[in-house]
Chains A and B, each alone.
Chain A
Amino acid sequence: MSKLETNTIDTISGSTTLTLGGTNANAITIPAGVTLSGNSLALAGNIGLGGATPTTSGTGITFPATASASTDANTLDDYEEGTWTPVDISGASLAFTSNEGTYTKIGRIVIANFIFRYPSNADATAAYVGGLPFTVASGNDNFQGNISTTDYASSDIVIWTTWTPSNGLRIRNYNDSGLSNANLSGKYIGGQTIYRI
C-alpha cells in the first residue's frame, strides 16, 4: 500500500479537484469551491443532507423530503416552508373567506401564520379553526398564539390555544372564555401560532 506524507500541497495543475487515493473506492476528493483551513470548512456551493439533492436556487442546506427525526437535543433535523388553509372545524360548516396561511417548520417547532374572515352567522357553537400544517404534539394543547390584527371588539383581546384532538385553534377572549362562532360573526382575524410537533 502506497503512502503519501506531505506537509503542504501548494499547487494543483490541470484540474479543479484534488483527489487523494486515485481511483480507490475510498479516495478523498476535494472539489473546487471547498476550502479547508485549520479546522474550518468553507463551501462555495450548497449542502444536501441525508441524500437530499442540494438546492439549485440560492445557497443553503437542503434536508431530506422525509424528515429523519433525531433524538439528540443539539441536532437540527428538519426544515420546511409552505402554505396551509385555515378552515372552520367547529361543526357548523362555516365557509371562511380570505383564508390563507403560511408555515415554517424548524426542527420540532412549527411557526404558522394565518388570516381568515368569519361569515356572518348566529351559531352558538364554540369557535375552532383547523387546517394546521402539522400534527400538534399529543397532550400539549396549551401552546399559545396571538392575534395581530382583527376587527373583533378591541376591549376584549382574542387569543387562542392549540387544541390537540383536531389540531386546531381554540379562540378565546382575554379572560380565557371560549368564543362562539356568533361572537366572531363577520370578523377578520390574522395572527400566528408557534407549536411543537
Chain B
Amino acid sequence: MALTEKIEIDRIEVVNNWNIQVRQATTIEKDGLFVSKTFHRWILTPDSDITNQEQKVQDICNAAWTPEVKSAYEAFKQEQENRLG
C-alpha cells in the first residue's frame, strides 16, 4: 500500500482587477487511487509581498498589476481608509 501526497496550486484567479485569488490543493492517493483532496486559499493584492509565491503565481500578479491597476488600488484603499478611519 502506497500513500502519496500531491500539493499544487490548482487555481489562480484575478478578481475585481487587483485581487489575485490562489488555491492550493493537496491530494492524497492510495496506490494511485484518489482518497481525498483538501484546499488552502489566500488572496494577494498589489501591496502583498509575492517573493515567496510560486513562479506561476508571481507571473499572474505581475501581469495583472499594471501601473494603472496599482494606482487604482491605492486610490481605492485611501478612499476606504478615509471613510472607515
Chain A residues within CB distance 8 Å of chain B:
56-57, 65-66, 80-85, 89, 91, 103, 130-135, 138, 141, 161, 163-167, 170, 178
Do B45 and A167 touch across chains, with their CB atoms under 8 A apart?
A: yes
For residues 1 through 39 of chain B, which have their beta carbon under 8 Å from a beta carbon of chain A?
Answer: 10-11, 15-16, 19, 21, 23, 34-36, 38-39
Do A82 and B84 touch across chains, with their CB atoms under 8 A apart?
A: no
CB-defined contacts of B23 to chain A, threshold 8 Å: 82
- With contacts A134-B21, A141-B80, A170-B84 taken as known, whether A165 is within 8 angstroms of B16 at the C-beta atoms is no
- With contacts A141-B80, A163-B80, A178-B85 taken as known, whether A133 is within 8 angstroms of B41 at the C-beta atoms is yes
- Beyond the given A85-B40, A164-B80, A170-B84, could you list 17 further A-B residue pairs with CB under 8 A, ordered by the A residue number? A57-B35, A65-B11, A82-B41, A84-B41, A84-B42, A85-B42, A91-B47, A132-B43, A134-B21, A134-B41, A135-B16, A135-B21, A141-B80, A161-B84, A163-B80, A166-B47, A167-B19
Do A56 and B34 touch across chains, with their CB atoms under 8 A apart?
A: yes
Partner of B42, one of A81, A131, A178: A131
- With contacts A65-B10, A141-B80, A165-B80 taken as known, whether A83 is within 8 angstroms of B43 at the C-beta atoms is no
B contacts with A: majority SS: strand
- With contacts A135-B15, A165-B73, A166-B77 taken as known, whether A141 is within 8 angstroms of B84 at the C-beta atoms is yes
CB-defined contacts of B16 to chain A, threshold 8 Å: 135, 138
Complex CA distance for A21 and B77, rounded to whole angstroms: 61
Q: How far is the CB of B61 from chain A (nearest CB, A)?
A: 14
Q: How far is the CB of A62 from chain B (nearest CB, A)?
A: 11
Residue pairs across A and B with Cβ atoms less than 8 A apart, 29 shown, are A66-B11, A81-B39, A82-B23, A82-B38, A82-B39, A82-B40, A82-B41, A83-B38, A83-B39, A83-B40, A84-B42, A85-B40, A89-B47, A103-B41, A131-B42, A131-B43, A133-B42, A134-B41, A134-B43, A135-B16, A135-B19, A135-B21, A163-B84, A165-B45, A165-B73, A166-B47, A166-B77, A167-B43, A170-B84
